[in-house]
C-alpha cells in the first residue's frame, strides 16, 4: 500500500493588502518534507510506503493569487498523476486558504486529486482550529482531524491522529463517513481559548468521543472571521464508521458549541485605542504593554497603521514609551542617511524628532530581513521598519538597537502578547483598533458570509 503526503498552507485575510508570493512559502520537496511533518514513521510502522510531494507553508497574509496557488498545486498534482493507484492521501492544510477566483484552496486541491485517484483511495486531512470548513469538504475528505488547542500546541498530535486513522481504515478496509455541521457564529478569535471554559470541557468531550471504537475523530472548528467568503463560520466535523454516528456526533457538538456563544470574554482589559493609551499613561505598573490588535502582523495585517502612535504623540506622555514595528519603507529609507542624534522634522506627524537608533528587523524564522529606524518624539520612540515584521520577543528590540527594559509603555502589533514577551509585561492592554485584523465583527463589513450569523444577528439555531 502507498500513501501520498503533502502540506500546503496559508491562513488568508481578505482585508490584508499583501498577497503572499512564491518565496513567502517555506518550501520543501521530496523526503525533505518530513523535516516538517510528523507522519512518516506512522505510515511506515504500518507497512505503508510513503510518497512525499511538497511542503509549502506561508504565514498569514492576504488572499493567495491564482497563479501562485496553481504553481504549488501543480507540483502536488504532478506526483499524484504519477501515482493514480495510491491507496491513500494525507495532507496537512490550514483550512482557511482563500484563493482569488477559486475560493477555498483546500477544497479545490482535493477535487483535483479525486479526479486522478481511484474510487477506493482514502483522503485524510489535518486542519487548524481556525479552518473555515466548506459544505463540500466531507465529499472529498474521508478523515478530518483538527487542532484541539488555541493557542496551537498540538500540531504534531493532530497530524498523528489523521495518519493513524488513515492507516487503520486502509488496513481494515473501512470507508469512514465524515459529517460537517455549520455553527453560525463568528466570535472574536482572541476570546476563544481552549485552556479555559467553556471550550476546555467541549474539547475534553471530543477527546472522550474519539476513544469510542466507532468514532475516528470529533472536531470543533472555531471559524476565522477575516475572510469574506460563504464558508466563513464555526463548524463541527465528525468521522465515524457510519453516517448516522458521524451526523449525530457532529450535530450534538454543534448544539453544545452554539449554546456557549455568549460565554466568551477577553481575559485581559480590551478597550478602545484611546482608552488603552489613557490607562497606560495613568497606570502605576512598572511596564505596560498595549497590543494593537487590529493591525496584528501575525494575523496577516500590514502593520502600517499609526493610530496609536498619533494618540501618544498628541498626549505627550512623561513615561518612556516605545511604539514598535510600524511598517513604513519610505520613512526608513528617506531618513536612513541621518546620524543618530540628528534632529529631523517628520512631516506626516507634523513634529520634530530625533534619530535615535538604526537597526534591523527579523523575519519569522529569525533571519534579518531589513532595516529599522527609531525616531524619538519627546518620550515616545517610534520604530519604523522597511518591511512587515512582528515584535514578538525581546530579541526583536535588541536587533532594532533598543533596550526593551528601558521602557514603561510598549506598543506592539499583536493580538495577545506572545509568551516570550509576557515576562516583561506587568500589565497588558488589548486595543480594539481598526485594521485588517480588527476583532470587532460589526466593523468588518463582511458581505459574502451566510446570514444569519451571530453576533450580527440574534436568532435561534438547532443542528
Q: Whole-angstrom Cα distance, residue 335 to residue 345?
A: 10
Q: Minimum distance between the CB of residue 151 and Zn ion, rounded to whole angstroms?
A: 8
Which of residues 98 and 128 has its CB atom nearest to Zn ion in the complex?
128
Which of residues 184 and 415 has its CB atom nearest to Zn ion in the complex?
415
Q: Minimum distance between the CB of residue 89 and Zn ion, rounded to whole angstroms?
A: 23
Which of residues 177 and 264 has its CB atom nearest to Zn ion in the complex?
264
Which of residues 127 and 215 has its CB atom nearest to Zn ion in the complex?
127
Q: Minimum distance between the CB of residue 211 and Zn ion, rounded to whole angstroms?
A: 25
Q: Minimum distance between the CB of residue 129 and Zn ion, rounded to whole angstroms?
A: 5
Which of residues 37 and 127 has its CB atom nearest to Zn ion in the complex?
127
**3-class DSSP string for the chain:** CEEEEEEEEEEECCCCCCCCCHHHCEEEEHHHHHHCCCCHHHHHHCCCEEEEEEEEEEEEECCECHHHHHHHHHHHHHHHHHCCCCCEEEEEECCCCEECCCEEHHHHHHHHHHHHCCCCCEEEEEECCCCCCCCCHHHHCCEEEECCCCCCCCHHHHHHHHHHHHHHHHHCCCCCEEEEEEECECCCHHHCCCCCCCHHHHHHHHHHHHCCCCEEEEEEECCCCCCCCCCCCEEEEEEECCHHHHHHHHHHHHHHHHHCCCCCCCCCEEECHHHHHHHHHHCCCCCEEEEEHHHCHHHCCCCCCCHHHHHHHHHCCCCCEEEEEEECHHHHHHHCCCCCCCEEEEHHHCEEEEEEEEEEEECCCCCEEEEEEEEEECCEEEEEECCCCCCCCHHHHHHCCCCHHHCCEEEECCCCCCCCCHHHCCEEEEECCCCCCCCCHHHCCCCCCCCCCECCCCCCCCC
Which of residues 149 and 379 has its CB atom nearest to Zn ion in the complex?
149
Q: Minimum distance between the CB of residue 152 and Zn ion, rounded to whole angstroms?
A: 6
| Beta bridge partners of residue 143, listed in sequence order | 124
- Taking Cα atoms as reference points, which of 83, 43, 74 lies closest to residue 56? 74
Which of residues 130 and 356 has its CB atom nearest to Zn ion in the complex?
130
Q: Minimum distance between the CB of residue 360 and Zn ion, rounded to whole angstroms?
A: 28
Which of residues 128 and 386 has its CB atom nearest to Zn ion in the complex?
128
Which of residues 153 and 201 has its CB atom nearest to Zn ion in the complex?
153
Which of residues 353 and 415 has its CB atom nearest to Zn ion in the complex?
415
- 26-29 and 49-61 beta bridge pairing: antiparallel
Contacts of 112 (CB under 8 A, 6+ apart): 73, 77, 80
Q: Minimum distance between the CB of residue 149 and Zn ion, rounded to whole angstroms?
A: 10
Report the residue number whose CB is nearest to Zn ion. 130
Q: Minimum distance between the CB of residue 148 and Zn ion, rounded to whole angstroms?
A: 12
Which of residues 128 and 292 has its CB atom nearest to Zn ion in the complex?
128
Provide the greatest CA pair distance for the chain.
74
Q: Minimum distance between the CB of residue 11 and Zn ion, rounded to whole angstroms?
A: 7
Residues at the contact surface with Zn ion, assessed by CB under 5 A: 128, 130
Q: Minimum distance between the CB of residue 221 and Zn ion, rounded to whole angstroms?
A: 10
Q: Whole-angstrom Cα distance, residue 111 to residue 423?
A: 47
Q: Minimum distance between the CB of residue 120 and Zn ion, rounded to whole angstroms?
A: 33
Please check whether residue 292 is in contact with residue 7, taking contact to mean a CB–CB distance below 8 angstroms: no
Amino acid at each position: 500500500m502507498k500513501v501520498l503526503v503533502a502540506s500546503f498552507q496559508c491562513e488568508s485575510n481578505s482585508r490584508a493588502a499583501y498577497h503572499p508570493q512564491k518565496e513567502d512559502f517555506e518550501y520543501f520537496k521530496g523526503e525533505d518534507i518530513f523535516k516538517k511533518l510528523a507522519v512518516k514513521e506512522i505510515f511506515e510502522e504500518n507497512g505503508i510506503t510513503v510518497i512525499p510531494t511538497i511542503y509549502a507553508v506561508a504565514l498569514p497574509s492576504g488572499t493567495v493569487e491564482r497563479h501562485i496557488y496553481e504553481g504549488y498545486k501543480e507540483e502536488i498534482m504532478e506526483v499524484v498523476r504519477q501515482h493514480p493507484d495510491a491507496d491513500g492521501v494525507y495532507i496537512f492544510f490550514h483550512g482557511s486558504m482563500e484563493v482569488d477566483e477559486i475560493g477555498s484552496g483546500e477544497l479545490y486541491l482535493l477535487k483535483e486529486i479525486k479526479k486522478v485517484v481511484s474510487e477506493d483511495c482514502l483522503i485524510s486531512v489535518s486542519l487548524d482550529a481556525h479552518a473555515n470548513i466548506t459544505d463540500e469538504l466531507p465529499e472529498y475528505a474521508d478523515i478530518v482531524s483538527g487542532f484541539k488547542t488555541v493557542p496551537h500546541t498540538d500540531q504534531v498530535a493532530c497530524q498523528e491522529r489523521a495518519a493513524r486513522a488513515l492507516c487503520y481504515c486502509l488496513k481494515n478496509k473501512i470507508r469512514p463517513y465524515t459529517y460537517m455541521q455549520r455553527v453560525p457564529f463568528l466570535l472574536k478569535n482572541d476570546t476563544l481559548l481552549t485552556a479555559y471554559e467553556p471550550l476546555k470541557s467541549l474539547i475534553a468531550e471530543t477527546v472522550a468521543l474519539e476513544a469510542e471504537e466507532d468514532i475516528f475523530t470529533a472536531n470543533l472548528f472555531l471559524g476565522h472571521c477575516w475572510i469574506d467568503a460563504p464558508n466563513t463560520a464555526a463548524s463541527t466535523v465528525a468521522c465515524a464508521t457510519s453516517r448516522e454516528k458521524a451526523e449525530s456526533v457532529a450535530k450534538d457538538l454543534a448544539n453544545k458549541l452554539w449554546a456557549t456563544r455568549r460565554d466568551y470574554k477577553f481575559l485581559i482589559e480590551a478597550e478602545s485605542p484611546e482608552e488603552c493609551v489613557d490607562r497606560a499613561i495613568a497606570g502605576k505598573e512598572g511596564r505596560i504593554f498595549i497590543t494593537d490588535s487590529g493591525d496584528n502582523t501575525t494575523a496577516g495585517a500590514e502593520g502600517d497603521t499609526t493610530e496609536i502612535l498619533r494618540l501618544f504623540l498628541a498626549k505627550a506622555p512623561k513615561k518612556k514609551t516605545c511604539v514598535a514595528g510600524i511598517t513604513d519603507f519610505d520613512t526608513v529609507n528617506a531618513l536612513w542617511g541621518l546620524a543618530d542624534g540628528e534632529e529631523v522634522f517628520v512631516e506626516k506627524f507634523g513634529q520634530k524628532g530625533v534619530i535615535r537608533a538604526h537597526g534591523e528587523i527579523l523575519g519569522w524564522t529569525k533571519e534579518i530581513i531589513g532595516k529599522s529606524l527609531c525616531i524619538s518624539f519627546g518620550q515616545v520612540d517610534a520604530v519604523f521598519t522597511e518591511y512587515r515584521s512582528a515584535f514578538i520577543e525581546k530579541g526583536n528590540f535588541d536587533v532594532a538597537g533598543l533596550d526593551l527594559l528601558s521602557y514603561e509603555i510598549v506598543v506592539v502589533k499583536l493580538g495577545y502578547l506572545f509568551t516570550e514577551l509576557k515576562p516583561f509585561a506587568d500589565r497588558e492592554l488589548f486595543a480594539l483598533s481598526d485594521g485588517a485584523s480588527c476583532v470587532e465583527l460589526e466593523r468588518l463589513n463582511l458581505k459574502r458570509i451566510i446570514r444569519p450569523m451571530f453576533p450580527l444577528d440574534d436568532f435561534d439555531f438547532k443542528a
